[in-house]
Amino acid sequence: MKWQASAPSNIALIKYMGKLGTQGNLSSNSSLSYTLNHLQTFVEIEPHHEPQDSWLPLELPNQSNPLISKNGQTRFLKHFAFLKNEFGLKGNYLIRSNNNFPSDCGLASSASSFAALTIGTYKVAREQNPKLDLTLSQLANLSRQGSGSSCRSLFAPWGLWDSNGAREIDLPFGRLHHHVVVVSDQIKSVSSSEAHKRINSSLLSATRKDRAERRLEQLIASLKNEDWKTSYELIWADFWDMHALFETSHPPFGYMSSGSITALRIAQETWNKTGDGPWITMDAGPNVHLLYRHDQKEIANAIEKELNKLFRVIANYVV
């Protein structure tokens, strides 16, 4: 028998960067994300008679095998072992997984991967113990143990993660168009997990929490007022704040490339010319995310056309 599950990626608009302690992926600041339902991780779990759990790539139509590092595979199986213990799940299993988007390059593949693994393992455990009954918030808390940002992927369209845990938050702009500009699909030289550790050496890190919490409060207020431009300014400021942490760490590191800057400028130029445009952000990677309102279809098409001359653009138009 096989159990299947899937979960979406998400894009944080107020970033999770910095941890409290070394266990459990507890964030030092609150974060807010928009769920990207078109960017999914798919997981299959089946029992096998090997002496230990194992992982293989899942074959998907028109999708190559994921480029997951050895360390990434170990981390994935470690989380599965943690979930088995939490659920009292017996036996050994073969796990297959794949994404319909590139892995380990700043597109939050760990968020969707660990959320999908958590949901899938819960399905297996429920088969063994039908009395097992967890809420989404409880599952999110378990998923967070493997990848902090994954706890937001269990909620849509908006996920809020603060000191009270992860949950859905009711906000306007629940159906946005999304572009991800794939500047590079190569595995990052510095993983997000490593970035969380390194930024502690930055002089900017001590006040990061205050800046992020203040921006989150301002962003939620601007979203509730449907103030698109103020939201854009806050989202723009926060991703640059995060990347400044990287560049001011000791030793400094970064994900920005000349291609990243080019993509950012193409998107930003629309704002400069018209006073309107997409929300623009980046995760810990070289790729650029753009979010559009429904009435910005012409703007989205024009920007996509320009970006496609230089980059691969994964576009999703909500209808």
Tokens of 83: 């979930």
Distance CA 162, CA 253 (A): 27
Print the SS3 string covering 29-78: CCEEEEEEEEEEEEEEEEEECCCCCEEEECCECCECCCCCCHHHHHHHHH
Q: What pLDDT is attached to residue 4?
A: 97
Find which of 108-117, 191-200, 231-240 is predicted with most confidence, using mean pLDDT.
231-240
Q: Nearest Cα to 123, choosing from 83, 74, 96?
A: 83
Average pLDDT, the chain: 93
List of domains in the chain: 3-168 (3.30.230.10), 177-316 (3.30.70.890)
118-176 per-position pLDDT tens digit: 999 999 999 999 999 999 999 999 999 999 999 999 999 999 999 999 999 999 999 99
Task: Identify the residue with better confidence: 21 or 186.
Answer: 186
List phi, psi (to 5°) of 278: -80, 160
Q: What pLDDT is attached to residue 67?
A: 62
Q: Where are the alpha helices (DSSP H) in 34-191?
A: 70-87, 109-128, 136-144
Report how far Cα 290 is from the mean position of its chain's Cα atoms: 14
Q: What pLDDT is attached to residue 104?
A: 54
The structure tokens 């937001």 sit at 152
10-54 per-position pLDDT tens digit: 999 999 998 887 776 888 899 999 999 999 999 999 999 999 999
| Residue 318 pLDDT class (50, 70, 90 cuts) | low
| Residue 109 pLDDT class (50, 70, 90 cuts) | confident
Burial of residue 262 (CB within 10 Å: 0-12, 13-18, 19+) is middle
Task: Identify the residue with better confidence: 93 or 105.
Answer: 93
Task: Identify the residue with better confidence: 60 or 254.
Answer: 254
Q: Nearest Cα to 162, choosing from 212, 106, 113, 97?
A: 212
Tokens of 294: 């429904």
Find which of 9-23, 71-85, 214-228, 304-318 is predicted with most confidence, using mean pLDDT.
214-228
Q: What is the mean pLDDT of residues 169-188?
A: 93
Q: Is the pLDDT of residue 186 over 90?
A: no
Strands 92-99, 54-57: pairing kind: parallel
Q: What pLDDT is attached to residue 26?
A: 82
Distance CA 81, CA 95 (A): 12
Strands 158-162, 31-48: pairing kind: antiparallel
Q: Is the peptide bond before 130 cis (omega within 30 degrees of 0)?
A: no
